[in-house]
Amino acid sequence: MGEDPQIDSAAQHDVIRSVEALPGWLLEADALKLYELAYLADGPVLEIGTYRGKSASLMAAALRDSGRGGPLVSLDVDAAGLRDAATEAAARGLSDRLVLVRGTAETLFRAHPGFAPSLVFLDGDHSRRGVARDLRALRERVPAGAPIVFHDYHDARNADPAEPDYGITQAVGSSWVARDCEFGGIFGCCGLFVRRSGPRRPAGADAPSGDGIVDLGREPLRSWFDRCVIGAVERRLSTRRRR
């Protein structure tokens, strides 16, 4: 692969400052590492959990600055949030680096079975069940050598049984990540892992493309039931335990 390209620190910090006011939660250390990893990515990047497009704008700007890699595929089930992200990307001139997709990780890989992200930023459902569901979808798709970043991995709420919406460390520890990945450190509240063993990256990108928001269609019933019904029951039970 040769030497990594040199990151322009001034440009990196300019981008980070430019997204500070956008809705979302990124510590400076989170933003620095995400920019770096996206800048160095040599293929498509996957973000699970767009929210309003803060981290998507940051990573798309890194891809623009590097002039290589991409696109950034940012995935969410919230149509309103994706529309906000699309508006922000257009205003920043980043639409050509960013593909916004409405759907789940499972539906994404079902529609694009050859899509193999060179970097994954996991910032969707933070519950143990939700993270485990996304990791199941990613298991056969993340190639060896790809970094995986878990937002809020370094957060005390993961260890609090009264916080059912947080179970990132538990989900990671009981998944293929613990077996197949090397821990790369804590950056802000993010946990970085790099896949040691896994599938080889296919020759074609098979990344989703299109103007506007790509809608993957109806979520499989099993996935919807797990995400919306079982998750809601677990949150209600946890609330009762706290009383």
* pLDDT at res. 218: 73
* pLDDT at res. 200: 87
Q: Which helix (H) or strand (E) holds 218?
A: none
* pLDDT at res. 165: 92
* pLDDT at res. 68: 85
* pLDDT at res. 217: 85
* pLDDT at res. 1: 45
Domains, in order of start, for the chain: 9-242 (3.40.50.150)
* pLDDT at res. 222: 64
State how far the Cα of 68 lies from the Cα of 111, in Å rounded to an integer: 25
In the predicted model, residues of the chain with pLDDT beneath 50 are: 1
* pLDDT at res. 238: 57
- Residue 107's CB is within 10 A of a number of other CB atoms, namely 21
* pLDDT at res. 90: 97
Q: Are 42 and 22 in contact, with CB atoms under 8 Å apart?
A: no
State how far the Cα of 3 lies from the Cα of 6, in Å rounded to an integer: 9
Q: Are 50 and 85 in contact, with CB atoms under 8 Å apart?
A: yes
pTM for the whole thing? 0.90
Q: Are 33 and 59 in contact, with CB atoms under 8 Å apart?
A: no
